Structure 1
Amino acid sequence: MKISTKGRYGLTIMIELAKRFGEGPISLKTIAQTHDLSEHYLEQLISPLRNAGLVKSVRGAYGGYILAHEPANITSGDIISVLEGPISPVEGIEDEEPAKRELWIRIRDAVKEVLDSTTLEDLANHSDDDQASYMFYI
């Protein structure tokens, strides 16, 4: 299972909206320029997020998009499922022999647990300083 650019860029949009939550609408052009992404592609991604009730559009000269809920109430799983569909490490799990089926189900459930327990607030508040620093010697 790979998360495509749809899921990755959709998360990018949503994290930017979460970082600026309460500041008013943000244009896709601003997000596209900030992350060096195609505005046209982001326009294609925002529609399913709006239809799912995760974002709202604001019209006008200072329009753009805002989150429909507080960042703490939207999970990365909500976003990925809208843009990527159901999570599955392999297709046809039901056709696998029992031992392999159990493995695939456990992998699927583990990934789903991480996605469903990680909120936009978590992602928006994450900084590069949170990364562990590793030194490798050869």
Structure 2
Amino acid sequence: MPLISSKGMYGLSAMHELYQHQKGEPMQIREISANANIPQNYLEQLLSKLRKAKLVKSIRGSRGGYMLATEPTNILVKDILIALEDGIKISDTRSQNPVLNIFLDETKQKVEKIFDLTLQDLEEYQDKYNQYLHYNI
């Protein structure tokens, strides 16, 4: 069972696109879709959930689109996943064994802590990617 579903990955990709775009103007859904390689119809559903969670805002009109609702330092990866996945799930079932239930609860808390990165913190991974691509002949 994957920890992050395709819904979560697409949502993170869309939010990262909005973060990178930050020019004070909305980004149109077709542009987000093309850049992040997300089917447009599916992206609309994801952005609707993210809007309800107050992570993005939509602007109407011919120059409308989507923008981050707040500063990228205020948006946690965990918040995005919770908005899209209805929580971070390690297991959907409870055990009859109370020891295992305590273990699963602690595991969930630790996993959530791992995702306490902000959108801006993801730039660290952009730097790592750039180093990976950089080579000398």
Q: TM-score range by the shorter chain?
A: 0.7 to 0.9
- Please give the alpha-carbon distance, in whole angstroms, between the structure 1 residues aligned to 2:30 and 2:124: 22
Q: Per chain length, whose mean CA-contact separation is higher, i.e. which structure has more relative contact order (CA < 8 Å, sep 6+)? A: 1
Residues 1-138 of structure 1 mapped to structure 2, 5 A cutoff: 2-93=3-94, 95-115=95-115, 117-124=116-123, 126-127=125-126, 129=128
Are the equivalent residues in 2 in contact too, given 1:56–1:65 (CA < 8 A)?
Answer: yes
Aligned-partner Cα distance in 2 for 1:87–1:35: 23
CA separation in 2, counterparts of 1:131 and 1:100?
A: 42
Kindly report the root-mean-square deviation, in angstroms, between the aligned alpha carbons of the 2 structures: 2.0
Give the TM-score normalised by the residue count of structure 2: 0.84
Give 1:37 shift: 2.0
Percentage identity across paired residues of the two chains: 37
- The 1:124–1:61 alpha-carbon spacing in structure 2 relative to 1, beyond 3 Å, is farther
- TM-score with structure 1 length normalisation? 0.84
Task: State how far apart, in whole Å, the 1-side matches of 2:130 and 2:84 are.
Answer: 27
Structure 1, unpaired ranges of 5+ = 134-138
What count of residue pairs does the alignment treat as equivalent?
131
User: Is there any run of 5+ residues in structure 2 with no aligned partner, and where?
Assistant: 133-137
SS of the aligned residue for 1:126 comes to helix
Equivalent position SS for 1:57? strand
| Pairwise CA distance, 1:28 | 1.5
Write out per-residue CA displacement over residues 86-118 of structure 1, whole angstroms, 9 at most, x where no aligned residue.
22311233x431221222122111111111x21
- Please give the per-residue CA displacement for 1:47-105, whole angstroms capped at 9, x wherever unaligned: 01111111111112221100110000010111111110122311233x43122122212
